[in-house]
């Protein structure tokens, strides 16, 4: 089949990575279907690509009938669906385990050429974090169900409207203090979102990458303190970094957990206790001949607005 006629189905295509990915794949002349809880209301999706190149479907990723109907007719399926914190009926088990298993099941049934499952750098089925544990379980589950699955773990992402700098930029207008857990072992290699979408595009185009395991990460590593210090130095708003023991942050994190968009949760604090190492046996952006972008170069134009 000609690449121009291939249909790519994206679960979670109206989020931060999803919007960038749709834009990237439109340039490669694929037909795109986007499955999301609120995709039809996202007007920017319909403005991408040529007339009729992008179509949207509203549905529940845990609804078997809706998931199967969406997958049927696709050539490639990409699962971007993720949950950063549990709230109401949204929980890690349903979103990180049950949904990917459904997607893998129907990708196999309908003989999809290639399933790409986007995971997280903390994914570990033995983790003390519920989110990380569910991500690790999902990686193993989807591979067992549908062998031709490519897994891509992502480091912390940056770019326009990201969940890191842009999220904190909104918060500090109300309270200009950022807590720094001073026993934190976590090390981050910030990754530019456009490098991610370019990498996924490369993987789709090369059949040799089907069923492989990738880890995408940026070229430089930072502690949480170093990340927030960089943020502090490059914005106009005056903010204060407040070192606090992780144990003392558990108390406010417990109450934040009851809010629709918590500043931090207990589950997220558990991630700060873990230092992740990359597996040299996994593929990276360098294997795709993509030079990861420097955060200090790409973020300057965005941060000067805050």
Q: What is the pLDDT of residues 127-142, one digit of tens each?
A: 999 999 999 999 999 9
Q: What is the pLDDT of residues 4-54, one digit of tens each?
A: 579 999 999 888 999 999 999 999 999 999 998 876 566 677 667 788 899
- Percentage of the chain modeled with pLDDT above 90: 64
The CA–CA distances, whole Å, from 222 to 51, 136, 219, 231 equal: 43, 24, 10, 12
> What pLDDT, on the 0 to 100 scale, is given for residue 2?
46
Report which of residues 30 and 259 the model is more confident about: 30
> What pLDDT, on the 0 to 100 scale, is given for residue 268?
84
> What pLDDT, on the 0 to 100 scale, is given for residue 4?
58
Rounded to two decimals, the pTM is 0.93
> What pLDDT, on the 0 to 100 scale, is given for residue 274?
84
> What pLDDT, on the 0 to 100 scale, is given for residue 264?
76
Q: What is the pLDDT of residues 50-85, one digit of tens each?
A: 888 999 999 999 999 999 999 999 999 999 999 988
Helix axes 193-205, 16-27, angle to 10 degrees: 50
Nearest residue to 132 via CA among 119, 114, 145, 144: 119
In this structure, how many other beta carbons lie within 10 angstroms of the beta carbon of residue 110? 13
CATH class (in words) of the domain with range 3-157+190-220+277-290: alpha beta
> What pLDDT, on the 0 to 100 scale, is given for residue 269?
84
> What pLDDT, on the 0 to 100 scale, is given for residue 39?
62
> What pLDDT, on the 0 to 100 scale, is given for residue 275?
85
> What pLDDT, on the 0 to 100 scale, is given for residue 46?
66
> CB-based burial of residue 107 (10 Å sphere; 0-12 exposed, 13-18 middle, 19+ buried)?
buried
179's enclosing H/E stretch is strand 177-181
Q: What is the pLDDT of residues 164-223, one digit of tens each?
A: 898 888 878 777 888 888 778 889 999 999 999 999 999 999 999 999 999 999 999 999
> What pLDDT, on the 0 to 100 scale, is given for residue 63?
96
Q: Which residues of 207-245 are buried (b: 16+ CB within 10 A; e: fewer)?
A: eebbeebbbbbbbeebbbeebbebbbeebeeebeeeeee
For residues 77 and 107, the answer to whether their CB atoms sit within 8 Å is yes
d(CA 215, CA 272): 19
d(CA 36, CA 57): 6
> What tokens were used for 254?
């417990």
């Amino acid at each position: 089949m000609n690449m121009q006629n291939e249909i790519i189905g994206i679960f979670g295509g109206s989020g931060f990575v999803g919007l960038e990915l749709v834009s990237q794949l439109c340039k490669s002349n694929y037909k795109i279907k986007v499955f999301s809880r609120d995709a039809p209301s996202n007007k920017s999706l319909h403005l991408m690509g040529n007339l009729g190149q992008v179509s949207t479907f509203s549905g529940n990723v845990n609804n078997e009938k809706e998931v199967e109907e969406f997958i049927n007719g696709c050539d490639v399926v990409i699962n971007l669906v993720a949950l950063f914190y549990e709230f109401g009926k949204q929980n890690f088990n349903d979103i990180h385990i049950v949904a990917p298993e459904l997607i893998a099941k129907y990708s196999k049934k309908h003989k999809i050429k290639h399933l790409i499952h986007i995971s997280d750098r903390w994914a570990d089925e033995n983790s003390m974090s519920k989110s990380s544990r569910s991500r690790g379980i999902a990686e193993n589950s989807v591979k067992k169900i549908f062998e031709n699955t490519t897994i891509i773990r992502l480091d912390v992402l940056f770019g326009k409207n990201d969940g890191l700098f842009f999220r904190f930029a909104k918060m500090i207008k109300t309270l200009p203090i950022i807590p720094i857990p001073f026993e934190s072992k976590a090390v981050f290699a910030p990754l530019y979102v456009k490098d991610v979408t370019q990498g996924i595009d490369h993987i789709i185009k090369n059949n040799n990458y089907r069923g492989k395991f990738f880890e995408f990460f940026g070229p430089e590593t930072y502690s949480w303190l170093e990340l927030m210090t960089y943020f502090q130095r490059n914005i106009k708003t005056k903010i204060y970094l407040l070192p606090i023991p992780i144990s003392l942050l558990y108390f406010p994190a417990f109450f934040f957990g009851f809010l629709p968009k918590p500043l931090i949760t207990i589950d997220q604090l558990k991630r700060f206790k873990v230092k992740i190492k990359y597996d040299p046996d996994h593929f990276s952006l360098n294997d795709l001949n993509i030079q990861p972008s420097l955060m200090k170069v790409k973020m300057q134009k965005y941060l000067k607005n805050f």
